[in-house]
Amino acid sequence: MNFLQSLGRELRCRRLSHGAPLDEAHHLVL
């Protein structure tokens, strides 16, 4: 698994835990 894949997975997990704010960051990263 490369860095972007692992980072994207981490952001999705955080979004589930904390709600919407990180969704924007996820789109910026990917």
- Whether the Cβ atoms of residue 29 and residue 7 lie closer than 8 Å to each other: yes
- pLDDT of 9 reads 86
- pLDDT of 12 reads 77
Q: Quote the CA–CA distance of 22 and 10 in Å, as a whole number.
A: 11
Q: Quote the CA–CA distance of 2 and 29 in Å, as a whole number.
A: 14
The per-residue pLDDT for range 1-30, each reduced to its tens digit, is 688 888 888 877 666 655 555 556 655 555
Q: Any idea where the domains of the chain sit in the sequence?
A: 1-30
